[in-house]
Amino acid sequence: MKIYLVGGAVRDIILNLKFSDRDWLVVGADINLMIKLGFKLVGKDFPVFLHPLTHEEYALARTEKKSGHGYGGFTYYSSPNVTLEEDLLRRDLTINAIAQDQSGKFYDPYHGIKDIHNKLLKHVSNSFKDDPLRVLRVARFAAKLSNLKFSIDKSTFKLMKIMSASGELSYLKPERIWKETENALKGVNPHIYFKILRKCGALSIIFPEIDKLYGIPAPAKWHPEIDTGIHTMMTLSIASKLTSNIGIRFAALCHDLGKGITPKKLWPRHNGHGIAGIPLIKKLCERLKIPNNIRDLAVLSAKVHDIIHDIYNQKAEDILNIYNMIDAWRKPYRVKQIALISESDARGRAKLDSIFYKQGKYFIDIYQHILKINNKDIIQNGIKGLNISKIINQRRLKLLKIFISTKKIK
Asked if residue 56 lies in contact with residue 50, where contact means CB atoms within 8 angstroms, the answer is yes
Asked if residue 285 lies in contact with residue 295, where contact means CB atoms within 8 angstroms, the answer is yes
Interval 278-309: pLDDT, tens: 999 999 999 999 999 999 999 999 999 999 99
Q: 315: how many CB neighbours lie within 10 A of its CB? A: 11
Q: Please state the φ and ψ torsions of residue 151, each to the nearest 5 degrees.
A: -135, 165
For residue 268, say if its preceding peptide bond is cis, omega within 30 degrees of 0.
yes
pLDDT of res. 117? 97
pTM value is 0.92
Q: Give dist(CA 307, CA 276) in Å, integer.
A: 15
pLDDT, mean of residues 172-184? 97
Strands 151-152 and 120-121, by their bridges, are parallel
Parts of the chain belonging to CATH 3.30.460.10: 1-112
Helices (H), ranges, 95-245: 112-117, 133-144, 154-166, 174-185, 190-199, 203-206, 208-211, 228-242
CA 111 to chain centroid: 30
pLDDT of res. 378? 64
**For residue 392, what pLDDT band results from cuts at 50, 70 and 90?**
confident
State the virtual CA torsion across 312, 317, 320, 321 in degrees, nearest 10: -110
Interval 49-93: pLDDT, tens: 999 999 999 999 999 886 556 555 568 888 999 999 999 999 999
Q: What is the CATH number of domain 1-112?
A: 3.30.460.10
pLDDT, mean of residues 204-232? 97
- Shortest CA distance to 76 belongs to which of 49, 48, 46, 41? 46
Residues 6+ apart with CB under 8 A from 208: none
Residues 6+ apart with CB under 8 A from 261: 276, 280
pLDDT of res. 129? 93
Q: Please state the φ and ψ torsions of residue 211, each to the nearest 5 degrees.
A: -60, -35
Average pLDDT value for the chain:
93
Q: Give dist(CA 199, CA 91) in Å, integer.
A: 23
pLDDT of res. 280? 98
Residues 6+ apart with CB under 8 A from 192: 139, 142, 143, 146
* 266 φ/ψ sector (left φ>0, alpha ψ -120 to 50, else beta): alpha
Asked if residue 82 lies in contact with residue 62, where contact means CB atoms within 8 angstroms, the answer is yes
pLDDT, mean of residues 391-396? 88
* pLDDT over threshold 80, residue 409: no
- Shortest CA distance to 222 belongs to which of 91, 364, 348, 361? 348
Interval 129-161: pLDDT, tens: 999 999 999 999 999 999 999 999 999 999 999
Q: Give dist(CA 140, CA 118) in Å, integer.
A: 18
pLDDT, mean of residues 395-400? 92
pLDDT, mean of residues 351-378? 89
